[in-house]
Structure formats: C-alpha cells, structure tokens
Chains A and B, each alone.
Chain A
Amino acid sequence: MTLLAWSGWRIERRSGRSSFALVSALLSAGAGAVLCCALLFLAAGADPIAAFAALAKGSFGSTRAIADTLVRATPLILTGLATAIAFRARLWNIGAEGQVFAGAMFAFWCQSAIGAAPAYLQIPVIVLGSLCGGALFGALAGALKARFQVDEVIATVMLNYIIIYALSLLLQQGPWTEPGGFFEQTAMVPDQAKLPILIEKTRLHLGFVLALVLAAILHVVLHHSPLGYEIRAAGSNLRALQVQGVHAGRLILVVFALSGAIAGLAGAFEVYGVQYRLKSGTLGGLGYTGIIIAILGQLSPRAVVIAGLLFGALLNGSTLMQIRTGVPSALIYAIEAIILMFFLIAWAISQFRLRRLRDVD
C-alpha cells in the first residue's frame, strides 16, 4: 500500500518486520518518551535532570528501594499477563481492573471464613480464593460476550465500575466494615494470613516470586500447549478454528476465566502482601496500567515481566521525585500513557519503509 508519495519517493508497508525495525522503534519510543517527560518536568517548574535522578534513586537507590520496586511491579506483572493472554486471543478484556477487585474480595471472603487457621492453610486459601474470584468475574464478561454477543470492551468497563461500587457498599455499610472505623476499609488481617516476607527489613513478599513462576508457566502454556495453540489461533482467525469444530463460546469463556484468575491474584497479593487490609483506593488503576504493560510487552509473557518491572520502578521512584522536586507523582500516570503512545506510533511506523521509485519514463 502506498501511504504517501511524492516525486520519486514513496512510503510503503513492509511485507515483513525486521528486528532492526523493532529495536529502533523501541529506542525511538524510549527517547521520545524521555524528551516528552523532560518537557513536562519543565512545565511543572522542576529541573528535569534532578527529577530523573530522584526517580532513579527512588526506584533503585538501595536494597530497600529495589525491593519496593519489585513489590510495586508484582501486581503490574500479573495484570499485564492477564491482559496479554486475553489480547493474544483478540479478546479485549479491559476488565483486569475489576477482576483485581473480585480476586481480592473473594480471597478476603474465603480467608475470613477460616479465620485464625495456621499459615500453611491461609496462603493456599488466599491464592485459590483470589484465582476463583477473578476467574468468576472474568467469566461473567466472557459469558456476556459468548452468550449475548455483548461487546467485551464495554462489558468489562461497565463491570469495572459496578464492582467498585459493590466493594464500597460492603465496606461502608456491610459486614466487612472495620468496627469503629471511619474509612472505607476492613480491619487488619491476622498475622498468619500475611504473605511471607522474602528479605528481612524489606516489604518484598512471596507474591513476587509467584508472579515470576506464573509468567514462566504462561509462556509454556501459550507456546507449547493445545490451549495456547487455540488462544494464538483464535487471535489470528477464530473462524478457522470453529470450522474445525472448536467451540468458540467455550474458548472465550476459558480465556476470560484464565485472564480474570491471573488478575485476581494481583488483588489478593496487594491485600495480603502489602496493605494487610482490603480497601478500595489502593487496588484502583492496577488493571489499566496492566493494559499498557501488556502492549509494551508485545503480549509475550517474558517481555511483560520486563515492562512490569520498568513500571514498578517508575511508580516507586515517583514518591521520592515528588518529595525532592515537588513534581506531582500524578505525572507518572501521564508518563506511562506517553510511553505507550510513543511505542504504538514507533511500532506502527516501523512497518513502513521509504522506497525510491524507478524513473517513470
């Protein structure tokens, strides 16, 4: 296809993609994003170099800072994986946001039921509970699509809003309200339900390792299992699978449940690994950031881990940046989106090439 043409030159779509194009796309996206951020720092009246330095120090400056970066990255890796696995099948699950809530809520419900049971029981209950909660809530969106042909983007966005109100209801006037508390949150969870800390004097918890293990498992599932085969095939041409007798509705349901389960885990890890109580505010935004991470990671589990770590660092460093330079940490959300935009544009442009025409006689 010709995109633009002027005397003697033409921009055309490449037939294939070169790895050179990918690398240059990534580099130019990175450079563009850094430049854009520098401008935003200037606009906020801060010295860009000092701001970047504070950002780096905040995220990697000490063992504690690095551990915190990994803690921040954990839920992002999980929501990134959840989104990636669904997008791979061309199922636009925007609902990781809500599925995080569902996982946290279901895990909390299950864990409350066993109360003060010993730790070796608590952890499996929390993990399984969150997987089930996320899977059920994900499957709800999947069922709406498979059974009623409801557009999954809209369905998942609506469910995201609905579950936030549901949690708020349970926390404010419901059975989960902290006795005598003023904020919308539950009481602290019992000590034996807290996820084990991996390195002393840091907050790095078991969840991080589990997230990495899950990424490895998903990589194998996606590339070497029959289910992964169907997911990849569905992403390219669902119709051809149906002609071969694959039940499309069932596959949609399975993918949504799988995706939801992974996101649900992120919710439980935040509650039992970081906050030690269930509250609304800290769970918000994880799912939406996961979409960015999935796309930056090219929907591949390995790259999603890397993108998740990068974003964990950004989030973690932003606190120090705000203290040192006064730049509002809200900037991070703008930066995340800017990185995504630059990446999308650079990636798209790398599909085109400039070609010299032979003289038209």
Chain B
Amino acid sequence: MTARLSISNLSKRFGPVIANDGVSLEIRPGELHCLLGENGAGKSTLSSCLYGLYQPDQGRIVIDGEERRFRSPADAIRASIGMVHQHFVLVPTFTVLENIVVGTGAGWRLDTRAARRRVSELCQRNGLQLNLDALVGDLSVGEQQWVEIVKALYLGARVLILDEPTAVLTPQESERLFTLLQQMTADGLSIILITHKMNEVMRSDRVTVLRRGRVVGTVETGSITREELTQMMIGRQLKQIEAEDRAGSGAPAVVTISAVSLRDARRVAVLDNLSLELRAGEVLGLAGVAGNGQRELFEAIAGVRRTERGEIRLDGKSVANLSAADIARRGVGYVPEDRFRDGLVPDLTIAENIVLGQQWQAPWRRGVLLDAARMREHAARSIADFSIATTGPGERIRRLSGGNAQKVILARELAKATRCLLCNQPTRGLDVGVIEYVHGQILRKRQDGVAILLASEELEDLMRLSDRIAVIFRGRIMGILPRHSASIALLGQMMAGTPLEQAA
C-alpha cells in the first residue's frame, strides 16, 4: 500500500534549539496514526511543518507520491491536509456556518445558500447534529470541536491532524470523538492524532513515538504494551508519585466556602450556591471540564474576585473585606491557571517577579526604596532550590520556558502558602520531569499541614494526589468522593452534570 503522506528526514531548529531532528514518518490511507511524546518532544513543531505554519530547514514531504513544499497553510490545504488545533481557532460571535465558510468560496458575494447545503451534507455523512445558525460561543466545548472538524473537512481535508483533541473534553465526549474518528478513517480519511494520553494511544492503528525531536520508533499499536510505550516516550521507567493514605478526616477546616454565588458580565451564574471545605494537611482535588467555574472559584478564595452571595472564611474569619494582598499575607498561595497572563510580569526580572505583590512589604524595602541586593539574594536561593534554568536573578521572565516560568511562580506562592495552597492546572503543558517535581512539592506542603485545592485536567493525576475529589459542573459541586471510590467513568459522568447520588 502506498503511503498517503510520507515525511523523510525533516529538521527544524529555532535558534540553538533543535525541535525536529531528522524525523521520518509514513501515514497510510485510512489509518489512525498517533504521534506520542512529552511536551517539548517536537510533536507540535512537526504538525506545524505539515500544515505550512513553519517551513522546515531540511527534509521532504511527499503526499500521494508527489513531493510538496508548504510555504503557508494555503499550500497544505491545497494538498488536502487539515488541522484541528488544540486551542480552537473559532470566532465566538460568528455562527457555526460563518465559522466554516469564512475564507472559502470565490467572488465578491457571500453565498451562504450553497455553503449551507454542503455543510449539512458533511454533517449528515458523519452523523453530527449541528445547528448551523447557533453562535459558536453558545456551543459546548464538544460541539465546538465538531465545528473545527467540519471546518477542516469543508476545506477538503484527506489527512486530518488533531492536536491534543481531548484535553478539554469530558471522558464521555472523548468517547464520542473516537467513534467519529473511527467512522472517518473507515471512510478513507487518514488521521494524525497528537497526544500524550496512553489510553487514547491504545485505540490507534499505529503509533510513532517522538523524544527530544527524534523519532524513537513507529510500531503497530496491537503489538506493544502501555508500559513499553511509556518507556519509549520518556526513555526511562516512570516513577509515579502517589499520596500516602491518611486515616480519618478529622483535620480542622482552614478554608470554608459556604453557599457562594457569582455571576459573570453577561449575568450568567458561574458559581452557583457552592460550598466546600479545605482541611489542613489534605489535598482536595477539583475535577471538571474547563470553564465550569474553576477559575472563578480559585479567584474568589484568593480574593481576586468578589462573590455576590455566600461567605468564604479563612481560619474562621470572613475574607469579604480583604484584598488579595491581605489574604496572601494570611498564608494563602495561589498558582493561577494561565501563568503568563495572571502570574508573571514578562518584562520584569526573576528577582522582581519572585516578590511580585510584596513590593511594599518590609523585607524588600530599605527606607522608601526597594532593596535590590536582598531581592537578588532571595532569587538566587530560589533558583537553586527549584533548579530554575536561567542565567541569573536578573534575567527577564520573557526569556524563560514555560516550565521554568512556572517554577518562579511556585517559588513565590509556596513561600506564601503557610495555611492554604491553591493550584489551578499547575502542570499544564509541562515536561514529565517538571510535573513530577511540582507534584512532589504539592505533597510536601500537604505533609506540612497546609490545606490544598488542586484542579487538573489529568484525572489520573487527581486520583493519585488527592485525598478527596470534588467535581464541579456549571458552578455547582456535583459531589465529593474519597479518592478510592473515584473512577474515571464515575468522575466523567459527574463532569457531564450528573450528581453523585444519581451517578451509577
């Protein structure tokens, strides 16, 4: 069988960093091919080269026996390659139809009638029910993904690249996605699935493992075990950290959240009569599909956002009139979800970022001015403690990688967190090594008796680290489970809105 797509000896470097180093790969017609690798292994760079977003420095791409060179996505689309990005590229204020047809067609007039017919056909053929006139912003995340897939098919894709497609889906939505993908491959489409989740990899036909920009190997999925694949991916045995069991739950509550409600700018409830208790020396896991109120809950506890009703108490005292700085001073550390948007100032140095928020406080002042020497000293210590890869305390945050930037936030927030630590997606997008490190730090804080709230999209991580797991859906808690009674299936049901009492 001739390959639909073959890549040979492709290399791409960014300055001194080699992202892809002599990558060769073949994709057959009608196959579901997995690209497996850690963050930073070069999966995204490879897919960007395939889609014409980057030009490779070296190597050739052959499609259906014909060599192609992609200068832009337009060339890739012409070669019938389609791509669904990890972060959807949609216009929320446009309708489904507008999102699909924008940038297609010919002539001056916007001809929606013919487009509507073709889109309906595509949906029907793949068994998708989409309201073409609904605003994309009103759709669920799962439906938005369908729009992305139809968008690619509408452009005539015969090879479809999906970049981490299940990161934001409930387990049930992922299930539907895989049914759809199998249907599409049966239809002759080739699919490249980029992922780091082992249970998804096992459903593919073949898998290519990347490590540090190189291909470790391509194997038939049926002929290999998860453990072997993991070893190929990270080059060593994975040592997974797991929280030890604690007896009983008699620890005192550090943070008590009672009946808290909050509405967003459009007056939609994002937190709805929500109650929780964070107890000393306990990790409370928070599971839920992104956008169900997690960010708001974290910000409400950290004092970044005011609640409308209900009360949050820290060590028995209401925090209603405290600013985020006051709350931090009472021993609360907050690791925000979007580290570059909420956690760091890119143009300031590491030393300056490590004292962010404490710039008026005594330890960093000498008279009315800032004590630069003291800040540098402190930063140098943190750099050593957290093994941050940098040229020194004077380096600007802008120049750090995601993992090192996250370590700067951890250095700052862990130092503050003497009573309570709030971690929203602390390991998203990080390398396995850094993830292990972060998890270790969280468990050390648990050992010290700090109350911890941990939200993560990786349910397996939650099940390993948490003492209890709460599931949030549309701003309400669907139920709280002790770690050992939780399962992926049960959490999935609850994440989709079934309360614990009704879930099977």
Residues of A near any B CB (own CB < 8 A): 2, 5, 15-16, 220, 224-226, 229-230, 232-233, 235-237, 239-247, 357-361
Residues of B near A15 (CB, < 8 A) are: 15, 399
* A229-B299 Cα distance, complex, nearest whole Å: 24
Which of B303, B326, B352 sits near A229, CB closer than 8 Å?
A: B352
Which of A2, A244, A361 sits near B357, CB closer than 8 Å?
A: A244
Which of A5, A16, A220 sits near B369, CB closer than 8 Å?
A: A220
* A220-B58 Cα distance, complex, nearest whole Å: 51
CB under 8 Å from chain A, chain B span 377-407: 399
Of the candidate stretches B334-342, B469-477, B488-496, the one touching chain A is B334-342
Cross-chain contact B368 with A236 (CB below 8 angstroms): no
Cross-chain contact B348 with A360 (CB below 8 angstroms): no
CB distance from B323 to the nearest CB of A (A): 4
> Can you report 6 A-B residue pairs in the complex whose CB atoms are below 8 A from each other?
A5-B55, A236-B346, A237-B345, A237-B347, A240-B344, A240-B356
- Which residue of chain A is the closest to B328 with respect to CB atoms? A245
Cross-chain contact B345 with A16 (CB below 8 angstroms): no
Residues of B near A237 (CB, < 8 A) are: 340-341, 344-347
Which of A243, A357, A359 sits near B343, CB closer than 8 Å?
A: A243
Cross-chain contact A245 with B370 (CB below 8 angstroms): no
Residues of B near A360 (CB, < 8 A) are: 55-59, 69
Cross-chain contact A233 with B326 (CB below 8 angstroms): no
The answer, yes or no, to whether B437 is at the interface (CB within 8 Å) is no
The answer, yes or no, to whether B359 is at the interface (CB within 8 Å) is yes
CB distance from B142 to the nearest CB of A (A): 29
The answer, yes or no, to whether B178 is at the interface (CB within 8 Å) is no
How many B residues face the partner with a CB closer than 8 A? 42
* A16-B398 Cα distance, complex, nearest whole Å: 10
**Would you give the 0/1 interface string for B48-81, flagging 1 where the beta carbon is closer than 8 Å to chain A?**
0000000111111000000001010000000000
* A239-B336 Cα distance, complex, nearest whole Å: 12
* A237-B327 Cα distance, complex, nearest whole Å: 21
CB contact under 8 A between A245 and B343, given known A240-B356, A358-B58: no
* A15-B356 Cα distance, complex, nearest whole Å: 25
User: What 4 pairs across the A-B complex have the smallest Cβ distances?
Assistant: A244-B357, A245-B325, A245-B324, A236-B347
CB distance from B359 to the nearest CB of A (A): 4
Which of A2, A16, A230 sits near B359, CB closer than 8 Å?
A: A230
- Which residue of chain A is the closest to B9 with respect to CB atoms? A361
Residues of A near B88 (CB, < 8 A) are: none
Cross-chain contact A245 with B372 (CB below 8 angstroms): no
Cross-chain contact A225 with B370 (CB below 8 angstroms): yes
The answer, yes or no, to whether B306 is at the interface (CB within 8 Å) is no
The answer, yes or no, to whether B304 is at the interface (CB within 8 Å) is yes
Cross-chain contact B342 with A229 (CB below 8 angstroms): no
Cross-chain contact A236 with B345 (CB below 8 angstroms): yes
Cross-chain contact B55 with A245 (CB below 8 angstroms): no
**Would you give the 0/1 interface string for B309-328, flagging 1 where the beta carbon is closer than 8 Å to chain A?**
00000000000000111111
- Which residue of chain A is the closest to B366 with respect to CB atoms? A224
* A316-B352 Cα distance, complex, nearest whole Å: 43
Known: A225-B369, A244-B325. 11 other contacts (CB 8 A): A224-B370, A229-B359, A236-B346, A236-B348, A240-B342, A240-B345, A243-B304, A244-B356, A246-B325, A357-B55, A361-B59
Cross-chain contact A226 with B365 (CB below 8 angstroms): yes
* A243-B343 Cα distance, complex, nearest whole Å: 7
* A235-B336 Cα distance, complex, nearest whole Å: 20
CB contact under 8 A between A233 and B303, given known A225-B370, A245-B328, A360-B56: no
Cross-chain contact B370 with A242 (CB below 8 angstroms): no
Residues of A near B57 (CB, < 8 A) are: 357-358, 360
* A245-B359 Cα distance, complex, nearest whole Å: 11
* A159-B71 Cα distance, complex, nearest whole Å: 49
CB distance from B85 to the nearest CB of A (A): 17
CB distance from B425 to the nearest CB of A (A): 15
Which of A224, A239, A244, A357 sits near B324, CB closer than 8 Å?
A: A244
Residues of A near B399 (CB, < 8 A) are: 15-16
Cross-chain contact A243 with B359 (CB below 8 angstroms): no
Residues of A near B299 (CB, < 8 A) are: 243
Residues of A near B324 (CB, < 8 A) are: 242-245
Which of A2, A5, A220, A233 sits near B356, CB closer than 8 Å?
A: A233
* A90-B344 Cα distance, complex, nearest whole Å: 17
The answer, yes or no, to whether B302 is at the interface (CB within 8 Å) is yes
* A358-B326 Cα distance, complex, nearest whole Å: 55
* A235-B55 Cα distance, complex, nearest whole Å: 34
* A219-B356 Cα distance, complex, nearest whole Å: 21
Cross-chain contact B326 with A232 (CB below 8 angstroms): no
Cross-chain contact B370 with A361 (CB below 8 angstroms): no
Residues of B near A235 (CB, < 8 A) are: 347
- Which residue of chain A is the closest to B324 with respect to CB atoms? A245
Residues of B near A230 (CB, < 8 A) are: 359
CB contact under 8 A between A5 and B71, given known A226-B365, A229-B359, A360-B57: yes
Residues of B near A361 (CB, < 8 A) are: 9, 58-60
Residues of A near B368 (CB, < 8 A) are: 225
Residues of B near A240 (CB, < 8 A) are: 341-345, 356
Residues of B near A16 (CB, < 8 A) are: 399
* A244-B409 Cα distance, complex, nearest whole Å: 12
* A226-B345 Cα distance, complex, nearest whole Å: 15
Residues of A near B328 (CB, < 8 A) are: 244-245
Which of A224, A244, A358 sits near B372, CB closer than 8 Å?
A: A224
Residues of B near A220 (CB, < 8 A) are: 369
* A149-B303 Cα distance, complex, nearest whole Å: 22
Cross-chain contact A245 with B303 (CB below 8 angstroms): yes
CB distance from B403 to the nearest CB of A (A): 18
* A246-B69 Cα distance, complex, nearest whole Å: 51
Residues of A near B302 (CB, < 8 A) are: 243
- Which residue of chain A is the closest to B53 with respect to CB atoms? A2
* A361-B69 Cα distance, complex, nearest whole Å: 10
Residues of B near A225 (CB, < 8 A) are: 368-370
Which of A226, A236, A247, A359 sits near B360, CB closer than 8 Å?
A: A226
* A225-B352 Cα distance, complex, nearest whole Å: 12
CB distance from B77 to the nearest CB of A (A): 18
Cross-chain contact B326 with A245 (CB below 8 angstroms): yes
CB distance from A55 to the nearest CB of B (A): 38
* A47-B372 Cα distance, complex, nearest whole Å: 54
**Would you give the 0/1 interface string for B22-37, flagging 1 where the beta carbon is closer than 8 Å to chain A?**
0000000000000000
* A70-B345 Cα distance, complex, nearest whole Å: 38
Residues of B near A247 (CB, < 8 A) are: 323
Cross-chain contact A243 with B342 (CB below 8 angstroms): yes
**Would you give the 0/1 interface string for B285-310, flagging 1 where the beta carbon is closer than 8 Å to chain A?**
00000000000000100111000000
